[in-house]
């Protein structure tokens, strides 16, 4: 696939600007890719501090994160809440997950259908607890919705859902009323590709949103900028 211009998109995350690579999903569509595991330790500190500031008033008992890219954020948030244990929802059918609770997921970055799995041994950690669900990016909303369903099936109360970035707005429809649980640290659009040039799809930009949402308060207005790389 031919190179895309520009190479990166600048996005504000918790008050700092980061240049994310623009990656083609097809010959007509592209996204700005956040690879949390490549962002470094200081980025984890920034995200952890900002997430806890957003959700401190909810006083969660435990944090649930989704593999793989949601794990670092879940750990950092747990650490700052002073919580020793956390629960990770898996996507790979490992041998110890044969009896896991399962929900279907469709990811924008991987394509096709996946499954989100909750180890039954973790149910005891969640039952009757106030849970904060954490992920790296909420895009289609499928992964976040599946995580929330699994947590509720385990008998827990979902008090909040956090993501580092919201991508577009399709996730609102997938989550329905649960969209009001979501709070993010930044927003990125999706991109249309014309003659090798990536142009933000106006329908997915932050300013295209309609209606009020807990996810986009006064302290969460993030405007992206271009970088030629």
Q: Per-residue pLDDT tens for 72-111?
A: 999 999 999 999 999 999 887 665 666 778 898 876 555 5
Q: Which residues contact 170 (CB under 8 A, 6 or more apart)?
A: 139, 140, 141, 204
The answer to whether 90 and 146 are in contact (CB under 8 A) is no
Query: Is the model's pLDDT at 229 over the cut of 60?
Result: no
Contact in structure between 177 and 149 (CB atoms under 8 Å): no
Contact 87, 70 (CB under 8 A): no
Q: For position 199, what pLDDT does the model report? A: 97
- Name the β-bridge partners of 196: none
- pLDDT tens digit string along 188-200? 999 999 999 999 9
pLDDT digits (tens, 9 = 90+) for 139-158: 999 999 999 999 999 999 99
End-to-end CA separation in angstroms for the chain: 18
Strands (DSSP E) contained in 95-148 are 101-106, 113-118, 130-138
Q: Where are the beta strands (DSSP E) in the chain?
A: 8-13, 16-24, 29-32, 62-66, 86-89, 101-106, 113-118, 130-138, 157-167, 182-184, 187-188, 190-194, 197-200, 225-227
Q: Tell me: pLDDT of 209 over 80.
A: no
In this prediction the pTM is: 0.87
Average pLDDT taken over every residue of the chain: 88
Show the tokens assigned to 125.
Answer: 């950690």
**Local structure of residue 168 (DSSP, 8 states):** S
pLDDT recorded at residue 136: 97
């Amino acid at each position: 696939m031919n190179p895309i211009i520009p190479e990166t998109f600048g996005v504000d995350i918790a008050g700092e600007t980061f240049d994310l690579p623009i990656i083609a999903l097809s010959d007509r569509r592209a996204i700005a890719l956040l690879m949390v595991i490549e962002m470094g330790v200081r980025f984890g500190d920034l995200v952890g501090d900002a997430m806890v500031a957003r959700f401190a008033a909810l006083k969660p008992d435990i944090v649930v994160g989704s593999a793989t890219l949601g794990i670092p954020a879940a750990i950092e948030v747990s650490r700052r809440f002073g919580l020793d244990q956390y629960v990770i929802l898996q996507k790979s059918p490992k041998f110890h997950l044969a009896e896991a609770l399962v929900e279907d997921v469709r990811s924008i970055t991987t394509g096709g259908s996946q499954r989100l799995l909750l180890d039954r041994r973790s149910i005891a950690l969640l039952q009757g607890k106030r849970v904060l669900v954490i992920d790296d990016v909420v895009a289609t909303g499928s992964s976040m919705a599946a995580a929330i369903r699994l947590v509720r099936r385990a008998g827990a109360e979902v008090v909040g859902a956090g993501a580092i970035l919201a991508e577009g707005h399709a996730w609102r429809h997938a989550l329905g009323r649960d969209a009001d649980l979501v709070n993010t640290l930044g927003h990125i659009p999706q991109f249309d590709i014309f003659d090798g040039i990536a142009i933000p799809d106006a329908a997915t930009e932050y300013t295209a949103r309609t209606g009020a949402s807990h996810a986009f308060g006064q302290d969460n207005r993030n405007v992206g900028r271009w970088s030629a790389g």
